[in-house]
Amino acid sequence: MPFDLQEYLQQRVRMVDSALHRYLPDEEMRPQVLHRAMRYSTMSGGKRLRPVLVIAGAEAVGGTADVVLPTACAIELIHTFSLIHDDLPAIDNDTLRRGRPTCHVQFGEAVAILAGDALFATAFELVARNVETAPAERVVRVLQVIAEASGTRGMVGGQMVDIESERKPVDAETLEYIHRHKTAALIRASVVSGAILAGAEQWQVDALSRYGELAGLAFQIADDLLNVTGDPGKTGKAVGTDAERGKATYPALYGVEASRQRAYQLVKEATEALRPFGEKAEPLRALAYLMVEREG
């Protein structure tokens, strides 16, 4: 029977959404507005790509979703935190996200800043909580991987260079830096974290790390392309904003067609890294193609 990605996604996303619902702080509890903002931005119909990659990373080495669920949710919270802060007026000044007003538009800037901070903190609480189902040594390794991928050598560092590069001529090296750090780092950390928690051997971690890096780069190129050619009804955000802001993007540097080819080439290389895992990596294989073929 061929692998059914839609069914796979549906089941995993349902697990993740239900866990996020449990893990997020109660909106009835003080400070209510902070908890409302945290839920508003997290439970807004995201694709849950990163948590599914955590689960698929675990499965590729023989693990199961329930063992990695807290860390899967942790990475989704880190992703959400970064979106809230990136949308702030002082940074990207975005007012629309997943078809709804962004956090600071809905709750004000102070609440948005603090909701992002609180989501980041909650993420690390969840990583710690994963010790209920995985050995402490593995949890600490995952903590190291996730913290590094989130900070200045990862997501935040990439976002910083992205902002610095607005309205400036950008060379290939800088564009690569932005993509690797802003996006690929956390995608890579997702797959690797799942694998580590499930007891992967070092060669498996290395192969999945390569997969995550390549697929993550492909994902960001696809994201840049959607900002040029996407349908706002499907992406839930405005189109053409990168060009307006003079953002460093793949299509701006190489053109649409070359970018599309590059994305596919990266996905092909990413799936080659999965060869030793056989059938167990079927979800990761399908997810890599989804990352570049998605419409939103």
Judged by the rule CB under 8 A, the positions of this chain that interact with a second copy are: 25, 30-31, 33-35, 38, 81-82, 85, 88, 90-91, 108-111, 113-114, 116-118, 120-122, 124-125, 127-129, 131, 135-137, 139-141, 143-144, 146-148, 150-154, 156-157, 159-161, 163-164, 177
Q: Taking the complex as a whole, how short is the minimal distance between the CB of residue 296 and a second copy, in angstroms?
A: 26
User: 3-state class of 104 per DSSP?
Assistant: helix
| DSSP, res 188 | H
For the chain, what is the radius of gyration of the CA atoms?
18
User: What is d(CA 243, CA 271) in angstroms, rounded to the nearest whole number?
Assistant: 31
- Closest to a second copy by CB, 13 or 33: 33
Return the half-sphere exposure (C-beta side, CA atoms, 13 A cut-off) of residue 204: 22
User: What is d(CA 192, CA 146) in angstroms, rounded to the nearest whole number?
Assistant: 9
Q: Taking the complex as a whole, how short is the minimal distance between the CB of residue 38 and a second copy, in angstroms?
A: 7
Return the half-sphere exposure (C-beta side, CA atoms, 13 A cut-off) of residue 136: 0
| E-state strands within the chain | 96-97, 100-101
239, 230 contact by CB (below 8 A):
yes
- Closest to a second copy by CB, 148 or 269: 148
- Closest to a second copy by CB, 59 or 92: 92
Q: Taking the complex as a whole, how short is the minimal distance between the CB of residue 12 and a second copy, in angstroms?
A: 25
Q: Taking the complex as a whole, how short is the minimal distance between the CB of residue 19 and a second copy, in angstroms?
A: 17
Q: Taking the complex as a whole, how short is the minimal distance between the CB of residue 82 and a second copy, in angstroms?
A: 8
Which of 157, 166, 164, 165 is closest to 185 using CA atoms? 157
- Closest to a second copy by CB, 88 or 256: 88
- Closest to a second copy by CB, 117 or 269: 117
